[in-house]
């Protein structure tokens, strides 16, 4: 039976003004959920509701908020299989990956439940006698969180969990094509005992969201925006936030390079390229964009990669496959556009490009009526190619060569993103020179570009974001604001800079 879902504001269902059908990308005829889409006014009203709820939530002590986070973690863990199955059904993510994604929520809760008992401030020495200085972390207030659907539950949890732990209320706007997964996650969070209105979920399209957000910013009911999505939309979010003197947390696209040195373990590198280039059908922000391989091992590496790809399975995401379908028709349309451009320009070395149909010529690939695409390796990509410079968000990997490490680093930095990166080498000095030279938030050595762990800083430079970092203790700076306090108990007016005692 098709699910009917709507936004939830202040603990109550909020009817939509329009309906969106979220479909299974592996079987396009299956509607997973009919989603009531809210308008701008509902979005703004949710922010007002959150504002009221936040005042009370902030009075709950941080250790007790930590216990709520612990209970969210347990609920998610107890329902991991059903949530993962829904993610697989709604966005076509292979089940094993979907289960890993759910695990990432639990990891995030594990980290932050303890933070409720830390959330440290500092005591700081003063210039003057009989004066004490302190710092405190205060909640920011209301956070609106706008997330993509490629990680429909884990990435939202990177915002929701720390934001709630820090004493904020949240208005969450998930991607509509992953609405059922988001709604299921919302219900698990709500079942933890969070007071009504502290977490609200609003389903709305882009224009209504922007209009609602602008209204809320004008009314002063939003204090922080978290956004994960494309660099293009991120720029608009940044502009809107900037006009209201806010600095959002932006996690945007990537064109993540993998450098392969002549001393690399090539089989390991192939495994890494396969996973990060074609796993999740290339739809992670950390997916591999271009392999930059030393000219002496180029042929060997490419041949091994193509062989591995031939042996891989693309198909029903409920099975043990390397990749399932693309997330949604709109991503397929955009990806088609790349494929059309690539055909006449490039030497595709891994077989046919384009949609996989039931009558696919390649063994191991099944099409059905889903958004399945042939994985593509394109050799000889030039540094001024679109394919070299732009994020494709599909199962396509470019290959290019280099002769010196500094040339490889220059190539790796060239697209101007800066999220994830990787180098395969057995020489530590190459690894450290790469780390120093690459402008990326994340660097892997002998591991793929994907698969960051939930307690390390996650985020990028350049077109990948505005320098903000999520995860671990670093994200606390997104959801709290430092406040300093000085307490003078000398009984006289001591003037900073002017009454400093000399020795
Ligand atoms: C994303 O695609 O938005 O590092 C996040 C990874 C995952 C998260 C990806 N843990 O690949």
pLDDT tens per residue across span 304-319: 999 999 899 999 999 9
pLDDT of residue 345: 73
pLDDT of residue 290: 98
Catalytic residue among 89, 97, 104, 251: 251
pLDDT of residue 359: 58
Question: What is the C-alpha separation between 30 and 39, in angstroms, rounded?
Answer: 26
pLDDT interval class at 369 (50, 70, 90): confident
The alpha carbon of 96 and the centre of ligand 1 are apart by a number of angstroms equal to 15
Residue 150 beta carbon below 6 angstroms from any ligand 1 atom: yes
The alpha carbon of 453 and the centre of ligand 1 are apart by a number of angstroms equal to 9
pLDDT of residue 342: 82
In order of 67, 243, 458, the CA distances from 113 in angstroms are 6, 35, 19
Tokens of residue 15, six digits: 């009817």
Residue 449 beta carbon below 6 angstroms from any ligand 1 atom: no
Taking Cα atoms as reference points, which of 312, 279, 357, 297 lies closest to residue 94? 279
The alpha carbon of 285 and the centre of ligand 1 are apart by a number of angstroms equal to 6
pLDDT of residue 356: 83
pLDDT interval class at 17 (50, 70, 90): confident
User: Greatest CA separation found in the chain?
Assistant: 88
Verify whether residue 115 is a known catalytic residue.
no
% the chain with pLDDT above 70: 98
Question: What is the C-alpha separation between 182 and 155, in angstroms, rounded?
Answer: 11
pLDDT of residue 358: 66
Give the helix, strand, coil percentages of the chain, each rounded to 5.
40, 20, 40
Q: What are phi and psi of 21, to 5 degrees?
A: -100, 120
Helix 266-278 vs helix 298-311: crossing angle, to nearest 10:
50
pLDDT of residue 314: 92
Tokens of residue 238, six digits: 């940044």
Residue 400 beta carbon below 6 angstroms from any ligand 1 atom: no
Tokens of residue 329, six digits: 């028709």
Question: What is the C-alpha separation between 227 and 251, in angstroms, rounded?
Answer: 6
To test the pocket of ligand 1, the residue of 100, 151, 419, 440 to mutate (highest count of ligand atoms within 8 Å of its CB) is: 151
Tell me the HSE value of 2 on the side-chain side, using a 13 A CA sphere: 14
Residues near 29 by Cβ (< 8 Å), separated by ≥ 6?
23, 369
pLDDT of residue 502: 77
Q: Say whether pLDDT at 249 is over 90.
A: yes
Residue 286 beta carbon below 6 angstroms from any ligand 1 atom: yes
**Closest C-alpha residue for ligand 1 atom 3:** 285
pLDDT of residue 360: 62
Q: Say whether pLDDT at 361 is over 80.
A: no
Question: What is the C-alpha separation between 178 and 461, in angstroms, rounded?
Answer: 27
pLDDT interval class at 363 (50, 70, 90): low
The alpha carbon of 330 and the centre of ligand 1 are apart by a number of angstroms equal to 20
Q: Do residues 265 and 426 lie in contact, with contact meaning Cβ atoms separated by under 8 Å?
A: yes
């Amino acid at each position: 039976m098709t699910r009917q879902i709507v936004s939830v504001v202040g603990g109550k269902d909020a009817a939509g003004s329009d309906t969106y059908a979220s479909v299974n990308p592996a079987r396009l005829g299956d509607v997973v959920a009919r989603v009531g889409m809210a308008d701008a006014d509902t979005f703004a009203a949710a922010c007002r509701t959150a504002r009221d709820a936040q005042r009370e939530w902030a009075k709950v002590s941080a250790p007790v908020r930590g216990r709520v986070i612990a209970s969210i973690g347990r609920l998610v863990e107890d329902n991991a299989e059903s949530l993962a199955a829904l993610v697989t059904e709604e966005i076509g993510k292979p089940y094993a990956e979907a289960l890993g994604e759910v695990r990432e929520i639990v990891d995030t809760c594990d980290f932050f439940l303890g933070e409720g008992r830390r959330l440290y401030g500092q005591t700081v020495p003063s210039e003057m006698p009989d004066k004490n200085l302190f710092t405190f972390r205060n909640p920011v207030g209301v956070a609106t969180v706008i997330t993509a659907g490629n990680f429909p539950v884990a990435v939202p949890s990177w915002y929701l969990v720390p934001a709630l732990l820090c004493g904020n209320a949240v208005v969450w706007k998930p991607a509509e094509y992953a609405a059922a997964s988001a709604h299921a996650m919302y219900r698990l969070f709500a079942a933890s005992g969070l007071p009504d209105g502290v977490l609200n979920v609003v389903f709305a399209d882009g224009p209504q969201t922007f209009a609602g957000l602008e209204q809320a910013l004008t009314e002063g009911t939003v204090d922080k925006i978290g956004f994960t999505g494309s660099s293009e939309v991120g720029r608009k979010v940044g502009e809107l936030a900037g006009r209201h003197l806010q600095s959002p947390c932006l996690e945007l696209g990537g064109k993540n390079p993998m450098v392969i040195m002549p001393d690399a373990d090539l089989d390991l590198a192939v495994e890494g390229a396969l996973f990060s280039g074609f796993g999740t059908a290339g739809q992670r922000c950390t997916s591999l964009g271009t392999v930059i391989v030393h000219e002496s091992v180029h042929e060997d590496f490419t041949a091994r990669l193509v062989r591995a790809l031939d042996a891989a399975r693309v198909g029903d995401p409920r099975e043990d496959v390397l990749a399932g379908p693309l997330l949604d028709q709109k991503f397929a349309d955009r990806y088609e556009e790349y494929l059309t451009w690539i055909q006449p320009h490039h030497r595709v070395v891994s077989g046919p490009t384009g949609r996989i149909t039931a009558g696919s010529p390649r063994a191991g690939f099944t099409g059905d009526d889903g958004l399945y695409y042939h994985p593509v390796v394109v050799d000889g990509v030039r540094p001024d190619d679109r394919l070299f410079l732009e994020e494709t968000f599909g199962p396509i990997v470019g290959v290019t060569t280099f002769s010196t490490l500094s040339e490889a680093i220059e190539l790796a930095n060239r697209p101007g993103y800066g999220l994830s990166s990787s180098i395969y080498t057995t020489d530590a000095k190459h690894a450290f020179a790469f780390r120093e030279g690459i402008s990326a938030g994340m660097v892997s050595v002998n591991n793929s570009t994907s698969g960051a762990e939930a307690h390390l800083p996650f985020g990028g430079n350049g077109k990948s974001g505005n320098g903000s970092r999520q995860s671990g203790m670093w994200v606390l700076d997104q959801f709290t604001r430092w406040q300093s306090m000085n307490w003078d108990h000398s009984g006289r007016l001591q003037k900073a800079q002017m009454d400093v005692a000399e020795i």
